[in-house]
Amino acid sequence: MAKAIKKQALGRGLSALLKDPENDIQSVDDKNADKVVGNIIELEISAIEINPFQPRSNFNEDSLKELAISIKELGVIQPITVRKLDYNKFQLISGERRLRASTLVGLTTVPAYIRIANDNESLVMALVENIQRHDLDPIEIALSYQRLMDEIQLTQEQVSDRVGKKRSTIANYLRLLKLDPIIQTGIRDGFISMGHGRAIINVEDLDKQTDIYHKIVSENLSVRDTEALVKSYQESLKPKAAQKAKVASFTVDESEKNAFNSYFGNKVDVKVAGNGKGKITIPFQSEQDYQRILELIKK
């Protein structure tokens, strides 16, 4: 199935604005600052420097390559965040893996949120206003909630107070960001709903997530169908319950077993099933021993 990629409303014109020496925005009070705060801008990678105080220094190469393949196929789903340092010069705040992976596949620009001096409150206002829009898809809303938490250091409870939504609602949106990027794109493009995504997120295996996603799209499954499919998959992962041993309907005590052994001159095996049926096994060591036992039975 061909994967349609939703084109984000990137501020390509704003990129030129940031390069204009006559409009060098340094604070929220500067002209055109309102066009920058809260918007996604296509930024040249060459203008971005890594934060020297970035606590993370080691990046798993295999994981980075997987992300690079995803970006090559789907684009950068979640923009990075940078801080404006000087004229056309920016410092990375968050998203170093995305930036590295974008460079790995040869991209020259990357979608970015621009932070400028003293823009915390302006950013909060812009994000909250953005969340209230009716044309946002669930992933865009989730990303806005995540930005409030990451960049403004708000808790889910504080985000709930700022946007006037229940904490459980915030949590449900944020969980969508744990979905495979292909599925996130599917939600953004309207192939599946948020309800489908909430059902799929209960599957930890990302490969299985995408298998379920493709089945939903190809078979036009409802949310309820998807929930049943996920439940069936989870049931298949549970270890099979060990069958309970059947209890014999009656017991054969040692004296009775010894009576068999004594009569036949061999160790006789006596087994009793739960329904009262059973079997007596009489072993023999040779043809002569067999004939001896046979004579005993004929008596």
CATH number at residue 143: 1.10.10.2830
Is 35 in the same domain as 97? yes
Q: What is the pLDDT of residue 3?
A: 41
| Percent of the chain's residues with pLDDT above 70 | 79
Q: What is the pLDDT of residue 57?
A: 53
Is 201 in the same domain as 267? no
For the ranges 122-131, 163-172, 214-223, 243-252, the lowest mean pLDDT is seen at 243-252
Residue 169 included in any domain? yes
Which residues are known to be catalytic?
96
**pLDDT at residue 35 tops 80:** no
Q: What is the pLDDT of residue 19?
A: 67
Is 12 in the same domain as 67? yes
Determine phi and psi for 81, rounding to 5 degrees.
-125, 130
- Give the Cα separation of 89 and 49 in Å (integer): 8
Is 22 in the same domain as 105? yes
Residue 186 included in any domain? no
Instruction: Examine the fold and report which residue of 178, 206, 225 is the final residue of a domain before the chain moves on.
Output: 178
Residue 123 included in any domain? yes
Is 21 in the same domain as 110? yes
Is 104 in the same domain as 155? no
Is 16 in the same domain as 82? yes
Q: What is the pLDDT of residue 231?
A: 94
Is 85 in the same domain as 33? yes
| Percent of the chain's residues with pLDDT above 90 | 32
Is 157 in the same domain as 169? yes
- Give the Cα separation of 98 and 66 in Å (integer): 11
Q: What is the pLDDT of residue 222?
A: 95
More confident residue, 248 or 38: 38
Q: What is the pLDDT of residue 136?
A: 80
Print the domain residue range for 109: 7-54+61-117
**pLDDT at residue 1 tops 70:** no
Is 21 in the same domain as 100? yes
Residue 70 included in any domain? yes
pLDDT in tens, 107-150: 999 999 888 755 676 677 667 767 776 678 899 899 889 988 88
Q: Which two tokens stand for residue 246?
A: 């059947």
Q: What is the pLDDT of residue 255?
A: 82
More confident residue, 152 or 69: 69
Indicate which CATH number applies to the domain containing 81: 3.90.1530.30
**Which residues does 106 contact at the CB level (< 8 Å), separation at least 6?**
none
Q: What is the pLDDT of residue 83?
A: 80
Residue 248 included in any domain? no
pLDDT in tens, 39-90: 788 899 999 988 665 545 556 788 888 899 999 988 888 888 888 877 788 8
More confident residue, 40 or 209: 209
Residue 249 included in any domain? no
CA distances from 145 to 163, 219, 279 (A): 9, 32, 71
Instruction: Examine the fold and report which residue of 132, 152, 178 is the final residue of a domain before the chain moves on.
Output: 178
Structural domain count, the chain = 4
**pLDDT at residue 7 tops 60:** no
Length in residues, the chain? 299
Is 65 in the same domain as 159? no
Q: Are 208 and 157 in contact (CB under 8 A)?
A: no
Q: Are 85 and 91 in contact (CB under 8 A)?
A: yes
Q: Are 40 and 15 in contact (CB under 8 A)?
A: no
More confident residue, 232 or 87: 232
- What is the overall mean pLDDT for the chain? 81
Q: What is the pLDDT of residue 243?
A: 60
For the ranges 148-157, 207-216, 262-271, the lowest mean pLDDT is seen at 262-271
Is 46 in the same domain as 77? yes
User: DSSP letter string over 191-247?
Assistant: SS-HHHHHHHTT---HHHHHHHHHHHHHHT--HHHHHHHHHHHHHHHSPPPPPPPPP
Residue 131 included in any domain? yes
Q: Which two tokens stand for residue 20?
A: 């204009």
Residue 37 included in any domain? yes
Total-model pTM: 0.54
Q: How many helices (H) and strands (E) does the chain have?
A: 14, 7
Q: What is the pLDDT of residue 55?
A: 43
